[in-house]
Amino acid sequence: MAEQRLETRRMGEMPEGKLLITMAAPMIMSMLVQAMYNVVDSIYVGRVSEDCLAALSLAFPAQNIMIGLGTGTGVGISTLISRALGSLDREEAGRVGGTGIFLCFCCWALLALFGIFGAEAFVNAQTSVESIRHHAISYLRIVTIISLFVYLEICVERLLQSTGLTKLSMWTQMIGAVTNIILDPFFIYGWLGLPAMGTAGAAVATVIGQAVGAGVGFWFHIKRNRDLPISLKMIRPNERIIRHVYKIGLPSIVMMCISSLTNYLMNVILGAFTSTAVAVYGVYFKIQSFFFMPVFGINNGMIPIIGYNYGARKKDRIYRTIRYAVLYASCFMLLGLLAFETIPQVLLGIFSPSEALLTIGVPALRRIALSFIFAGFCIVAGSVCQALDRSVNSMIVAFLRQIVVLIPAAWLLSKTGDVNMVWWAIPIAEIMSLLASIFFLRDALKHMERRLAM
């Protein structure tokens, strides 16, 4: 018990730069493994056919909503638990955790209904190529209908993170991801006498990996998370907690939905040129995750620190934590910029690309990479707003960036008849995001000052 309380107390005492690294490093490692398994999925599938690679791109927007629903719920859960622990209210923290587990089953029910009744229409609206449609529908149905485990895995990771047990959260993600990577070729190619399932096999490996990760995570929680007691009677709806969870987390969910709508519309715009352009867009998202996932790991480490110190009314620690987070995030984005600008052929080469994919993909990566200059700050600013009860600020920025700027710009640039012009829409939108993020971050910090002055 004393060891566990030391884990939570350090969030209010350890030097902020060191604390952020300590909290974020395990999550960065686990997210890099997560990024690796996403890439490995595409590498394996790309060797089956380019149509299979395009199919994953078409399924991605819906899969992104699925992950966003779990992540947004997790942000709310983690923030409320951290605040409760900062206020030394362990009983309230346990109630939040139990309500979070209940919400996992609600999220699963929604996505299962979509998989059964909506997956086919979703894919058909993006392409008329029968082979691509078949692969995308089979993949999407599996990952949505059997989505319970991804929600449980995300939830238990947040339970561990919110009490400072980030290493155990890292192992939860890593074990699930490695399981997926190992199983991929068995189900995709039909190793050891299994049927060769192609993209459907990638989906089966994914849900098995999620189930293993969830199981390991709950075992860690039961054995080590003594500061967050959750009993079976706590796993039930609590209207007050649910309202607060989604007050914090709903903007994250909306932002992911906006992102998914953007990806959906970009697939439609790019598909008017060629399915290869759609495949390039999907491959870009796989590669960029190696640089964005560490930034998300920094954010995941930052949010509990801000939440704890907000509850403990330690304003100076919050400011210093934000500055370190922006610095670390910008360093990762700089690495991404250098890689995309100097070795795009190497990055694309791991997906067994056709000559057409390279012709479109190389200039695409170089142009998109210019957005990385601003992205690190924008991502951190959005998470700070969420941690300080100004989540709607992040939602507004996401809406402005993607719906008001990105999609209209991409559509207008597509009218040039040159697919390479479409990629410029992404850095254009990021510049707007930077300006809006600065404005809304200042608003969130002023809101914090007023609350702490009461």
Q: Write phi, then psi, for 390 (nearest 5 degrees).
A: -125, 45
Average pLDDT taken over every residue of the chain: 88
- The terminus-to-terminus CA distance of the chain in angstroms comes to 33
Spatial CB neighbours of 103, under 8 Å, sequence gap ≥ 6: 73, 77, 151, 155, 242, 245
For 217-250, letters b (16+ CB in 10 Å) and e give bbebbeebbbbbebeeebbeebeebbebbbebbb
Look at residue 157 and tell me whether its pLDDT is greater than 50: yes
Residue with token string 């990996």: 209
Give the helix/strand (H/E) hosting 10. none
Q: Give yes or no for a contact between 179 and 208, defined as CB atoms under 8 angstroms apart.
A: yes
pLDDT of residue 85: 79
pLDDT tens for 127-140 read: 888 888 999 999 99
C-alpha 111/C-alpha 202 separation (Å) is: 19
C-alpha 271/C-alpha 282 separation (Å) is: 12
Q: Give yes or no for a contact between 318 and 306, defined as CB atoms under 8 angstroms apart.
A: yes
C-alpha 374/C-alpha 434 separation (Å) is: 6
C-alpha 322/C-alpha 340 separation (Å) is: 27
C-alpha 120/C-alpha 280 separation (Å) is: 23
Look at residue 110 and tell me whether its pLDDT is greater than 60: yes
Q: Give yes or no for a contact between 408 and 380, defined as CB atoms under 8 angstroms apart.
A: no
Q: Give yes or no for a contact between 410 and 266, defined as CB atoms under 8 angstroms apart.
A: yes
C-alpha 216/C-alpha 157 separation (Å) is: 10
Q: Residue 89 carries which DSSP code?
A: -
pLDDT tens for 250-308 read: 877 887 888 888 989 999 999 899 989 998 998 998 899 889 988 988 988 888 888 88
For the chain, state the CA radius of gyration: 21
Neighbours of 454 (CB within 10 A): 5
Look at residue 108 and tell me whether its pLDDT is greater than 90: yes
C-alpha 278/C-alpha 269 separation (Å) is: 9
Q: Give yes or no for a contact between 92 and 35, defined as CB atoms under 8 angstroms apart.
A: no
Q: Give yes or no for a contact between 131 and 53, defined as CB atoms under 8 angstroms apart.
A: no
| pLDDT band, residue 90 (cuts 50/70/90) | confident
Instruction: Find the range with the poorest average confidence among 30-44, 140-154, 165-179.
Output: 30-44
pLDDT tens for 346-380 read: 999 988 888 999 999 999 999 999 999 999 999 99
